[in-house]
A and B are shown apart, each in its own frame.
Chain A
Amino acid sequence: MSVGLVALCAFSASASPVNLSVGDGSIAIKAGKIHTLSEAGVVENAVMIVRDGRVVSVTSGGTISPGMQVIDYGSDATIIPGLVSASSGLARGWADPRTAAPGLSALDNFDFFANHISALAAGVTSTYIDPAIGRLIAGTGAVVKLGGEGREHRIVNGIAAIDGSVAADAYNTPGFWEPPVPATVDVGMGQEEPQMPHSLQGAIFALEGLLSSARGAEVEGFGPYAQNELGQAVQNGAIWRFTANTEEEIRAVARFAGRNKLELVIDGGRAADATVEMLSSAGVGVIFEPTQRLGATTNWGKGEDSSWPSLSIPAAMVKAGIPVAIAPGLSHSIDSLWALGILASQGDFSNLDALRAVTLTPAQMLGADDRVGSLGNGKDADFVVLNGAPMVASTSINATWVDGELVYTSPEIGAVVLEVDELFVGDGTVLRPGQLLMDHGRILEVGEAVAHPKGAVIIHGAAAMPGIVDALGHFGLEGSRRPPSSSVPLSRILDVRGEGAMRVAKAGVTTIALSPTSLSNNGTTMVAYKPAAENFEDLIVEDVAAVRLTWSSENRYDIGQDIIGLLERAVKYRADWAEYNAAMAAWVAPAPEAAPQAEASGEEADAEAEAEPAKEDKEDKKKKKEKDLDPLTGVWAATADWGHARFQFSDGPSAGTTELRGSLRSDALSLSLLRFEGSFDHDGDQLEVTGVAGTLTISAKLDDEKLEGTITMAGAEYSFEATRESRGYQVAARTEVRKPEASPNDPKGFPKEPRFDSDLDPLARAMAGEVAVIVTANRDDEILACVDAFEAVGIKPVILGAMDIHKVKDQVAGRIAGVLPDRWPLRSTKGIATVNRFAELQEAGIPVAFYSAAEEGASDLLLMAAYAVVEGMSPVGALRALTSDAALLLDIDDRVGRLATGLDADVLLLDRSPLEVTARVQRTWVLGREVL
Chain B
Amino acid sequence: MKFLPNRTHATTLLPARTMTLLRNWTLVPGAIAASVLFGNLPSASAAVGDSIVIEAGRIITQAGEDIVDGVIVITDGRITAIGAAADVEKPWDAPVMGGPEFTVFPGFIEAHTNNGMDRPNENLDVTPFLNVRDSIDPVNFFFEDCKRWGITTLNVQQGNNTVVAGNGRVVKPVGVTVEEMTIRPDFGFKISISPKSGKSRATQRQTLNRAFGDLRSDLESQVESAKLDEELAAREALGQGREREAEEGEGRAMTGSGWKVEGLERIKRSEIDEKVLPLLEMVEGRHRTFLYCGAPMDVQTAIDFATENGLLAKATLVLDASCWKAADAIKASGLSVVLDSNMVHIEVDPITEEETETFVPSVFAEKGIPFALSSANSSTNSLWFQAALCVGYGMERTEALAAVTTAPANILGLGDTVGSLEVGKAGNLLLLSGDPLDMTSWVEFTIIDGVKIYDRSKDVRNRHLLYGVEPRGTLAIESTASETPSKIEVDGEVTEEAKGEPVEEVAEEPIEEVVEETTKKD
Contacts and interface: CB of A to CB of B under 8 A. Distances in A.
B195 A93 contact: yes
Contacts of A132: 200, 202
B512 to A, nearest CB: 42
B397 interface: no
| Most-contacted residue by chain A among B124, B129, B295, B351 (CB, 10 A) | B351
B45 interface: no
A105 B205 contact: yes
B275 A111 contact: no
B297 A112 contact: yes
Contacts of B322: 113
Given A93-B195, A113-B326, A181-B275, A108 B202 contact: yes
Given A104-B206, A105-B205, A110-B297, A131 B200 contact: yes
Contacts of B350: 115, 117-118
Nearest to A103: B206
Contacts of A105: 202, 205
Contacts of B301: 108
Interface string B341-370: 000000101110000000000000000000
Nearest to A225: B210
A109 interface: yes
A93 B275 contact: no
A632 B296 CA distance: 77
| Most-contacted residue by chain B among A109, A110, A111 (CB, 10 A) | A109
Contacts of B206: 96, 101, 103-104, 108
Interface in B297-315: 297, 300-301
B124 A181 contact: yes
Nearest to B296: A113
A411 B199 CA distance: 39
Contacts of B199: 93-94
B397 to A, nearest CB: 31
A905 interface: no
Interface string B183-207: 0000000000001001111111110
Contacts of A115: 347, 349-350
Interface residues of B, number: 27
B463 interface: no
A858 B350 CA distance: 49
Contacts of B202: 91, 93, 104-106, 108-109, 131-132, 139
B65 to A, nearest CB: 42
Interface string A88-126: 000111111000010111101111111101100100000
Contacts of B349: 115, 117
A94 B200 contact: yes
Interface string B2-27: 00000000000000000000000000
B300 A151 contact: yes
A572 B296 CA distance: 82
Nearest to B124: A181
Contacts of A91: 202
A145 to B, nearest CB: 15
Contacts of B325: 113
B330 to A, nearest CB: 13
A427 B204 CA distance: 70
B213 to A, nearest CB: 9
A117 B348 CA distance: 12
Given A113-B326, A181-B275, A93 B201 contact: yes
Contact of A109 (B129, B200, B210, B326): B200
A22 to B, nearest CB: 28
Nearest to A106: B202
Contacts of B347: 115
A108 B199 CA distance: 12
Contacts of A411: 351
B201 A108 contact: yes
Interface string B472-491: 00000000000000000000
B200 A111 contact: no
B345 to A, nearest CB: 12
Nearest to B214: A224
Contacts of A225: 210
Contact of B351 (A103, A108, A112, A121): A121
Interface string B284-304: 000000000001110011000
B435 to A, nearest CB: 38
Given A94-B198, A117-B350, A181-B275, A111 B297 contact: yes
Contact of B200 (A93, A112, A114, A151): A93
A103 to B, nearest CB: 6
A285 B339 CA distance: 49
A94 B203 contact: yes
A206 B267 CA distance: 39
Nearest to B301: A108
Contacts of A94: 195, 198-200, 203
A722 B442 CA distance: 60
A14 to B, nearest CB: 13
| Most-contacted residue by chain B among A105, A108, A110 (CB, 10 A) | A108
B301 to A, nearest CB: 7
A438 B195 CA distance: 51
Interface in A165-186: 179, 181
| Most-contacted residue by chain B among A96, A118, A179 (CB, 10 A) | A96
A104 B203 contact: yes
A179 B275 CA distance: 15
Contacts of B205: 105, 108
Nearest to B209: A103
Nearest to B295: A111
Given A93-B200, A103-B206, A117 B297 contact: no
B300 A96 contact: no
A111 B294 CA distance: 12
A113 B200 contact: no
Contacts of B195: 93-94
Nearest to A140: B202
A179 B326 CA distance: 37
A117 B351 contact: yes
A499 to B, nearest CB: 37
A118 B349 CA distance: 10
Contacts of B296: 111, 113
A117 B351 CA distance: 8
Contacts of A108: 200-202, 204-206, 301
A604 B25 CA distance: 85
Given A115-B350, A181-B124, A96 B203 contact: yes
Nearest to A111: B297
Contacts of B198: 94
Contacts of A139: 202
Nearest to B329: A151
Nearest to B351: A117
Contacts of B200: 92-94, 108-109, 131-132
A112 B298 CA distance: 10
B284 to A, nearest CB: 23
Given A93-B195, A108-B301, A113 B295 contact: yes
Nearest to A121: B351
Nearest to A107: B202
Contacts of B297: 110-114
Contacts of B209: 103
A96 B202 CA distance: 9
B192 to A, nearest CB: 14
B360 to A, nearest CB: 14
Nearest to B208: A108
18 contacts: A93-B203, A94-B198, A94-B200, A95-B203, A104-B202, A108-B202, A108-B204, A108-B206, A109-B201, A110-B297, A111-B297, A113-B297, A114-B297, A115-B349, A115-B350, A117-B350, A131-B200, A181-B275
> Which 3 A-B residue pairs are closest in the complex by CB-CB distance?
A93-B200, A108-B202, A113-B296
Given A93-B201, A108-B201, 15 more contacts: A93-B200, A94-B200, A101-B203, A103-B206, A104-B203, A108-B200, A109-B201, A111-B296, A111-B297, A113-B296, A113-B325, A117-B350, A121-B351, A131-B200, A181-B124
